[in-house]
Amino acid sequence: MELRIAGVLSLWISVHYRVCVERTSRRTPSEKRRTRTIISMSYKRLIPGLMIVAALLPGRVAAQAHVHEEAGSGSQSAVREVCAPVSAGCSVESYLLGILATRGVSVAMASLDSLAAKDEEIRRDGHQYAHAIGINAFDGNEPVGPVFSRCTPAYQSGCYHGVIQSYFTHHIQMHGGQIDVATINALCEDQRGGDHWLLFQCAHGMGHGTYMIAGNQLPGALEGCDLLVDDWERESCYGGVFMENIVAETVPHHSVGRPDLESATAHDDHTGHGAADQGDPHADHHAVPTLVGVADREPFPALKRDEPLYPCSVLEDRYLTSCYQMQTSAILWFNGSDVPGAARACSQAPEDFRVICFQSLGRDVSSITMQDNRRAITLCNSAPVEYRPWCHMGYAKNLVDVTADPNDGFAYCRLLPAGESKRICNVAIGEQIWVLADDPARREQMCLSAEPDFRDACRIGAGIARPAASATVAPSSLFASVRTND
């Protein structure tokens, strides 16, 4: 089975990037069942973008877009144009890394922008190319903070994720396979107290990195995130772990580590099939440095074709919010992008996490439809009526994750019929605005683009208004509380 990676990496991005000023209270299971949980993730992209991270769906992997001789392909003409100065057989990734080596991160990312503007296939896989740029940008010769800041949030923040992964690879090699509490908590120090979005990117990228150094073993990677002192950073880190768990399993040649450390730049011999399809859940596609003791861990399959809710179904409760926020990417990978089938699977999730699963489905619908709003409405309407608002929420948030423009989200909200779906959609765009704009006055201005009757919903999501006192609280495990009336 082949894959398009565009959405996946909007991850997560869509759920986890909202730093909450009003921390969620810890509720009992019975209290939780009386409310609906709204999870807002990501990467300015959450995430978004992240994060994300994006939805995995069947399609053709263009991670290594080599020059082919077939005529009539816009993709091939774009590749020929950039590769001509190099060689007749160069790949898009090798071309971009050559620019990075000679002209730096900014020019390499701008070159990716130019390619993506000409080629839809390259645009879809932009996260993976940006990821490779970030991986190669950090070489250990300067602190990680300045390198991280040179990246951009384009392509679901792939460059940010790559820098963090490369940092871990370097640290493991330089410190005898050990990473301690101090090292984990110092990584995002430069981003604390500043831009919410950059802090999310760092913490989420940390999750990608812990998965790598844990030898692609999910439990060990989550334990790395457990070392984080801050609750929100820890949850964002979990999100990165779950995204990488799916990406590494379904796209085994997904860039990890540094080529100069692991000879990982040559992917031409890969088939494009994930370890899940090959029957080996532990296939190691790169010789990435790992933590001491990884080899002694009990094997833990990343995904299971015949268990749609695995691994969420076997993990401890503290991981389930982040797990279900990504789970539909795995479900859709195995079921051939059957959205109604994924909706049936989400309906079997534990009640406390069901709305999260449907929000995950909405994010993945964005990738499946390539942001076709009317088709997205049709697909989200295949969910049970009571969960459709959350599918619409996931889709709308992902629109903003991809473009960082709330107007794209508002355009979708306008297409929804008046009622709960439209209201939740506008709350979701407000949450994205919270991440995009630190200044409350700027957030207020951005919410004016919502339909007049739903501007208050946007303002609630953006943290500049409080819900009516009679409303029922629906806490998010990551963000400020949002309330619903049903």
What mean pLDDT is predicted for residues 1-10? 34
pTM check: above 0.85: no
Predicted confidence (pLDDT) at residue 23 exceeds the cutoff of 80: no
Structure tokens that stand for 366 in this block? 């964005």
Q: Give the count of domains, the chain.
A: 2
Is residue 151 a contact partner of residue 137, using CB atoms and an 8 Å limit?
yes
pLDDT of residue 194: 72
- DSSP code string of 11-27: HHHHHS----SSPPPP-
Find how far residue 72's CA is from the centre of its chain.
33
Q: What's the CA gap between 70 and 335, in Å, rounded? A: 30
Predicted confidence (pLDDT) at residue 372 exceeds the cutoff of 90: yes
Q: What's the CA gap between 116 and 98, in Å, rounded? A: 17
What mean pLDDT is predicted for residues 338-358? 97
Classify residue 386 as exposed, middle or buried by CB count within 10 Å of its CB (0-12, 13-18, 19+): middle
Give the percent of the chain with pLDDT over 90: 45
* Nearest Cα to Cα of residue 393 among 39, 54, 45: 39
Classify residue 273 as exposed, middle or buried by CB count within 10 Å of its CB (0-12, 13-18, 19+): middle
pLDDT of residue 395: 98
Is residue 17 a contact partner of residue 197, using CB atoms and an 8 Å limit?
yes
Question: What's the pLDDT band for 19 if we cut at 50, 70, 90?
Answer: very low
Could you tell me if 272 and 351 lie in one domain?
Answer: yes
Is residue 15 a contact partner of residue 40, using CB atoms and an 8 Å limit?
yes
Give me the domain span that covers residue 251: 3-63+125-484
What mean pLDDT is predicted for residues 238-249? 91
pLDDT of residue 170: 83
Could you tell me if 277 and 238 lie in one domain?
Answer: yes
Predicted confidence (pLDDT) at residue 289 exceeds the cutoff of 70: no
**Helical spans, DSSP H, in 104-180:** 105-118, 120-124, 126-137, 144-150, 154-174
Structure tokens that stand for 373 in this block? 């709003």
Q: What's the CA gap between 214 and 241, in Å, rounded? A: 10
Could you tell me if 71 and 143 lie in one domain?
Answer: no
Could you tell me if 132 and 240 lie in one domain?
Answer: yes
Instruction: Note the pLDDT tens digit of each residue in 121-145.
Output: 898 889 889 989 999 999 888 888 8
Structure tokens that stand for 23 in this block? 């921390």
Q: What's the CA gap between 41 and 18, in Å, rounded? A: 6
Last residue of a domain, one of 124, 146, 164: 124
Is residue 206 a contact partner of residue 234, using CB atoms and an 8 Å limit?
no
Last residue of a domain, one of 73, 92, 124: 124
The residues near 26 (Cβ < 8 Å, ≥ 6 apart) are none
Could you tell me if 34 and 78 lie in one domain?
Answer: no
Cross-strand partners of 473: 483
Instruction: Please tell me the least confidently modeled range out of 64-73, 94-103, 371-380, 404-413.
Output: 64-73
pLDDT of residue 366: 96
pLDDT of residue 424: 97
Tell me what the pLDDT averaged over the chain comes to.
75
Instruction: Note the pLDDT tens digit of each residue in 416-430.
Output: 999 999 999 999 999
Could you tell me if 245 and 205 lie in one domain?
Answer: yes
Is residue 377 a contact partner of residue 346, using CB atoms and an 8 Å limit?
no
Last residue of a domain, one of 84, 104, 124: 124
Could you tell me if 236 and 341 lie in one domain?
Answer: yes
Q: Where are the extended beta strands (E) located within 94-223? A: none
Could you tell me if 193 and 102 lie in one domain?
Answer: no
In the block, tokens 């992209």 appear at: 45
CB atoms within 10 A of CB 486: 9
Could you tell me if 472 and 446 lie in one domain?
Answer: yes
pLDDT of residue 177: 66
Could you tell me if 39 and 109 lie in one domain?
Answer: no
* Nearest Cα to Cα of residue 431 among 368, 472, 476: 476
Could you tell me if 132 and 119 lie in one domain?
Answer: no
Element (H, E) at 334: helix 327-335
Could you tell me if 17 and 77 lie in one domain?
Answer: no
